[in-house]
Structure 1
Amino acid sequence: MTAVLSEETKLRDQIAAVGKSIFDRGLTFGSTGNISARLSTGELLMTPTNASLGSLEPERLSRFSAEGVHSGGDKPTKEAFLHQCMYCQQKMSGAVVHLHSTYAVAASILADVDPEDVLPPLTAYYVMRVGSLPLVPYFPPGDKALAKAVAEKAKSSHAVLLANHGPVVAGKTLLDAQYATEELEETAKLFLLLRGHALRPLTPEQRAVLKS
């Protein structure tokens, strides 16, 4: 029991630290975005509704049973189902980060992107940390139909981009999910800066080496 409590305390503190880091660098704002992490018991800790990632209180994080039932802490975000359907499809994931980061959202609004893989493989780190980025069709925030759409895309990718909304990224650890989300945002920024210019993305052969 002591070990479980120690694990939970550390994870609560880590969620708050990651949230502040993300907020302080302008990757989210106001009360947008949410973070979750999974305990070894299968239970989830998640940022609550109406909470700024810049000022999270570890003891007030929402807690869910392994079955996805809210079991403690503040009222959960209405986007909790986004996290739960990512865990269902990405079984090895230990954390999920969902942001409304500016450049990724901008890319999600463009009409001429590839819905199967929104961003081109511009850098090695994008390929290694994100890989592919399918676009999930638009649904209003909190619409439960979005869960089915996300689950479908998450079968083949640990990162998805919600149209006119933002990215949802799963990782083995919270830091993995954080770094992948940040790499996605920087690649979206590069993509938008380079629009109208001839691109030289990594070739399929170069991508294959990075994934081997």
Structure 2
Amino acid sequence: MIEFEASVFQQAAEDLCKYGKLLYDRDWSPATSSNYSVRLSDQCCALTSSGKHKGELTPEQILVVDWQGKPHTPGKPSAETLLHTQLYERDKNIGAVLHTHSHNAVVLSHIVKDDILVLEGWELLKAFAGQTTHECRMEIPVFDNDQDIERLSGLVEQRMQQHQQGHAYLIRGHGVYTWGRDLAECFRHLEALEHLFGYQLEMKRMALA
């Protein structure tokens, strides 16, 4: 039996609704796309329900799932639940995960070559936890989209075992996953990524002009 504090879950549900509205208003999570979560304990997390409009989330649309994706409160978990729990299970320091479907992330994921997006030399790289200089190279892996989420989460884990865990990854034609110690840090990473993705797209447009 998993254990979590009801008050912690309630706060997490309210926070996820708040960030859902924020992400929707920025046009990073249109309609029912995207999913978000917050760690509740070393056994479970709070997660957005499947198929809910992210600009209109209510606390009743947040549920508790364990690392196997099994729900422990009423509701239907997101189809991509295992992409969240894979991160929580591998790293106890991860406290929140945000997955969005922004224009920049989706378009850029289609034109990245060699399944790796390299971000290098940008001042905004200092927005990521532990990064103190722009003089660095950040590699963001790009995975092919797959309706078999268990298989996809396995590929993500395999990549992280062979390379660094990093701060984010893209799914081709789908969107971006990023994480942090809490929702505030996770959102900071996402906001930085959105601008960095925009820089990369603009550079590609300029190269073709």
Structure-2-length-normalised TM-score: 0.83
Asked if 1:172 is matched to 2:178, the reply is no
CA contact (8 A) 2:38 2:97 kept: yes
CA contact (8 A) 2:119 2:139 kept: no
CA distance in 2, matches of 1:196, 1:49: 36
Alignment of structure 1 residues 16-31 onto 2, 5 Å: 16-31=17-32
**Percent same amino acid among aligned pairs?**
25
Matched residue of 1:141: which SS? Answer: coil
Asked if 1:115 is matched to 2:146, the reply is no
Residue deviations 1:40-70 (CA, integer Å, cap 9, x gap): 3532110010011111111231211365421
CA distance in 1, matches of 2:22, 2:148: 26
CA distance in 1, matches of 2:23, 2:191: 9
TM-superposed deviation, 1:154: 3.6
1:107 partner letter: L
Residue deviations 1:11-66 (CA, integer Å, cap 9, x gap): 11111000100001111101000000011353211001001111111123121136
1:121 partner letter: E
CA contact (8 A) 1:160 1:168 kept: yes
CA distance in 2, matches of 1:196, 1:55: 35
Asked if 1:126 is matched to 2:132, the reply is no
Matched residue of 1:97: which SS? Answer: strand
CA distance in 1, matches of 2:192, 2:145: 25
TM-superposed deviation, 1:10: 1.4
Structure with greater strand percent: 2
CA distance in 1, matches of 2:63, 2:16: 12
Residue in structure 1 matched with residue 142 of structure 2 by the alignment: 136
Structure 1 pair 93–11 and aligned structure 2 pair: CA distance change class (3 A): same
Structure 1 pair 27–111 and aligned structure 2 pair: CA distance change class (3 A): closer
1:159 partner letter: A
CA distance in 1, matches of 2:101, 2:183: 18
Residue in structure 2 matched with residue 208 of structure 1 by the alignment: none
Which 4+ stretches in 1 moved above 3 angstroms? 65-68
33-42 or 118-127, larger mean C-alpha shift? 118-127
1:147 partner letter: S
CA distance in 2, matches of 1:170, 1:97: 6
CA distance in 1, matches of 2:59, 2:167: 26
Residue in structure 2 matched with residue 73 of structure 1 by the alignment: 74
TM-superposed deviation, 1:152: 2.3
Which residues of structure 2 form unaligned runs of 5+?
Answer: 132-137
CA contact (8 A) 1:63 1:72 kept: yes
The aligned length equals 194
1:115 partner letter: D
CA contact (8 A) 1:119 1:187 kept: no
Residue in structure 2 matched with residue 85 of structure 1 by the alignment: 86
Structure-1-length-normalised TM-score: 0.81
Matched residue of 1:72: which SS? Answer: coil
CA contact (8 A) 1:45 1:63 kept: yes
CA contact (8 A) 1:136 1:150 kept: no
- CA RMSD, 1 decimal: 2.3
TM-superposed deviation, 1:196: 5.3
Structure 1 pair 111–180 and aligned structure 2 pair: CA distance change class (3 A): closer
